[in-house]
């Protein structure tokens, strides 16, 4: 099964991957109950919750508030965005090495109804506070978030991700996301390893110091 293939190919991912792969092999083999695509029914919701807690939870935390900065937080994330990302992993179009190593195999086992139900599950979870803010770096990050870096042609992040960084529908929530993950994604957008034109345009002129600052600011947002 694909999950195992992908897990074995990674050497450094260790125990989490193995635990998850074992749980996934057991659980994802169960066919998803029939559900409408848009609005998961009770069976699909229960199925998704079980997968979220026992499989995805190994890395993302049972309610999507992962503690390890390598694994993005999913709690309170927008459902549209989550569905689109899971489909992009499944289609293998979100292509940085961690996406390939961790998520392609996971997503390959999910049908549309389960994806929508998982997205609804995470969107309904409460995002827990992450890091505490207040550093000089975070203050610079706030300025970039709200005003961009006009001299370098970097637009204000708030214009798409919202004044509170909670995003909307296809614009992801960034508030409370692990800084290390945000920083890595900005690098992947810049290099086009994660190939999304809109964010490539934003990140292409953002230097590493400013990426770091905006990541530090976002991590501390409620
Ligand atoms: C072995 C660890 C692991 C498991 C298990 C796992 N993930 Fe992931 N997931 C990751 C990593 C690492 C990333 C970040 C990939 C990257 O950097 O592009 C990720 C990214 C994601 C993202 C993108 C988040 C964003 O903000 O764009 C979603 C959605 C997601 N995972 C959902 C799931 C779901 C649903 C499951 C269970 C079916 C699952 N994951 C299981 C490690 C895991
Ligand atoms: C013109 C709209 C727009 C602007 C401005 C914008 N973003 Fe984005 N951003 C998006 C969209 C759309 C996505 C989702 C991309 C996808 O579908 O993979 C995204 C995704 C992201 C992600 C990935 C989130 C995740 O969970 O993986 C990060 C990080 C991010 N943006 C940071 C920023 C920062 C920092 C700025 C400001 C310097 C910014 N964005 C400005 C539209 C925008």
pLDDT of residue 20: 56
pLDDT of residue 65: 97
Nearest CA owner, ligand 2 atom 39: 157
Nearest CA owner, ligand 1 atom 42: 102
Instruction: Judge if the beta carbon of residue 183 lies within 6 A of ligand 1.
Output: no
CB 188 within 8 A of CB 94: no
| pLDDT tens per residue, range 25-49 | 545 554 455 544 456 688 999 999 9
2-123 matches 136-219 in fold = yes
Question: Which residue did the predictor score with more confidence, 193 or 34?
Answer: 193
CB within 8 A of 138, min separation 6: which ones?
Answer: 213, 216, 217, 220
Q: What is the three-class DSSP state of 31?
A: coil
The residues spanned by each domain of the chain are: 2-123, 136-219
- Residue 24: pLDDT over 80: no
Ligand 2 center from residue 132 Cα (angstroms): 22
Nearest CA owner, ligand 2 atom 1: 160
Ligand 2 center from residue 178 Cα (angstroms): 14
Q: What rounded mean pLDDT belongs to the chain?
A: 87
Ligand 1 center from residue 149 Cα (angstroms): 30
CB atoms within 10 A of CB 136: 9
Ligand 1 center from residue 71 Cα (angstroms): 7
pLDDT of residue 139: 95
CB 55 within 8 A of CB 127: no
Report, as an integer, the average pLDDT of 179-200: 97
CB 114 within 8 A of CB 47: yes
Please state which architecture CATH assigns to domain 2-123. Orthogonal Bundle (1.10)
Nearest ligand 1 atom to alpha carbon 52:
37
> Whose CA is closest to 3, among 127, 84, 104, 118?
104
pLDDT of residue 32: 53
pLDDT of residue 7: 37
Q: Residue 166, by phi and psi: left (phi above 0), alpha (psi -120 to 50) or beta?
A: alpha
pTM beyond 0.85, yes or no: yes
| pLDDT tens per residue, range 123-178 | 999 999 887 777 889 999 999 999 999 999 999 999 999 999 999 999 999 999 99
Report, as an integer, the average pLDDT of 9-20: 48
Nearest CA owner, ligand 2 atom 18: 196
Q: Does domain 136-219 have CATH number 3.40.50.2300?
A: no
Question: Which residue did the predictor score with more confidence, 68 or 2?
Answer: 68
């Amino acid at each position: 099964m694909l999950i195992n293939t992908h897990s074995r190919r990674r050497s450094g991912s260790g125990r989490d991957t193995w635990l998850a792969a074992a749980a996934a092999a057991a659980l994802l083999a169960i066919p998803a109950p029939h559900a409408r695509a848009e609005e998961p029914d009770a069976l699909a919701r229960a199925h998704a919750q079980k997968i979220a807690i026992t499989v995805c939870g190994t890395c993302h935390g049972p309610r999507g508030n992962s503690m390890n900065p390598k694994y993005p937080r999913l709690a309170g994330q927008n459902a549209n965005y989550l569905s689109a990302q899971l489909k992009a992993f499944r289609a293998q179009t979100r292509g940085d090495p961690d996406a390939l190593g961790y998520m392609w195999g996971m997503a390959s086992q999910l049908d549309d109804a389960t994806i929508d139900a998982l997205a609804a599950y995470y969107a309904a979870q409460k995002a827990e506070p992450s890091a505490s803010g207040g550093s000089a770096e975070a203050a610079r990050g706030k300025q970039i978030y709200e005003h961009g870096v006009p001299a370098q042609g970097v637009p204000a992040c708030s214009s798409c991700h919202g004044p509170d960084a909670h995003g909307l529908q296809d614009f992801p929530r960034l508030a409370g996301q692990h800084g290390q993950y945000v920083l890595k994604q900005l690098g992947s957008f810049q290099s086009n390893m994660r190939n999304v034109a809109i964010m490539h345009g934003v990140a292409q002129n953002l230097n590493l110091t400013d990426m770091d600052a905006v990541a530090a600011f976002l991590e501390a947002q409620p």
